[in-house]
């Protein structure tokens, strides 16, 4: 920019030329420092962001959590609890996040799931009833799950001890309760 000016007046000396050369040098120094700072920031971006995240999380941790100590069964238990301010923030943000999350979930129920629409419980007759209600043909293969369940009960009853899946009785006579089947049976 000032290059042509300095060529034309290169034979001039004095304070004005000194200041113009100083301004030109400082301009190039400013540009060089700016670009070198950007280059260093780009090269060390991961370390910088990691340090910034550590600093931020330390502040969030101090703001959000407080360590409490309680006694359970004679044993001192240390737990983290939310501070009052963090609990207020969480209680105001959580319902909004939950509503938007639930709106984004789209599930399709299968056509032939063994769920009785009247009771909402698992029922192996439900697919057969759905076919009958839709006016479709019902064959022997539709009744196979029901037939197999009854046959297993009958064949198991012929032996010494029969395992009944709903009651949980085992061949040894001890009652073994399955918590998953308890939820499914009415």
Domain ranges, ordered by start, for the chain: 3-43, 64-102, 126-184
Q: Tens of pLDDT along 36-89? A: 999 999 999 999 999 988 888 888 888 888 888 888 888 888 888 888 888 888
pLDDT of residue 112: 56
Q: Is 29 left (phi over 0), alpha (psi -120 to 50) or beta?
A: alpha
Q: Which residue has the higher pLDDT, 123 or 73?
A: 73
**pTM attached to this predicted model:** 0.32
> Which residues does residue 164 pair with via DSSP β-bridges, in sequence order?
169
**Which pLDDT band holds residue 20 (cuts at 50, 70, 90)?**
confident
Please provide the average confidence, as pLDDT, over all residues in the chain: 75
Alpha helix positions (H), the chain: 3-8, 15-43, 45-64, 84-104, 126-134, 144-158, 179-184
Cα end-to-end span (Å), the chain: 89
Length of the chain: 186
């Amino acid at each position: 920019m000032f290059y042509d000016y300095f060529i034309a007046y290169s034979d001039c000396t004095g304070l004005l030329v000194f200041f113009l050369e100083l301004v030109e040098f400082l301009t190039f120094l400013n540009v060089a420092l700016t670009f070198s700072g950007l280059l260093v920031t780009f090269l060390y971006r991961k370390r910088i962001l990691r340090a910034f995240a550590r600093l931020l999380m330390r502040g969030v941790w101090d703001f959000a959590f407080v360590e409490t100590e309680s006694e359970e069964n004679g044993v001192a238990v240390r737990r983290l609890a939310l501070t009052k301010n963090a609990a207020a923030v969480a209680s105001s943000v959580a319902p909004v996040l939950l509503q938007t999350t639930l709106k984004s979930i789209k599930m399709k129920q299968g056509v032939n799931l063994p769920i009785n629409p009247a009771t909402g419980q698992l029922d192996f007759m439900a697919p057969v009833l759905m076919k009958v209600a839709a006016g479709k043909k019902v064959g022997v293969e539709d009744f196979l799950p029901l037939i197999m369940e009854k046959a297993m009960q009958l064949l198991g009853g012929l032996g010494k001890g029969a395992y009944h899946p709903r009651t949980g009785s085992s061949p040894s006579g001890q009652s073994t309760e399955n918590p998953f089947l308890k939820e499914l049976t009415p």
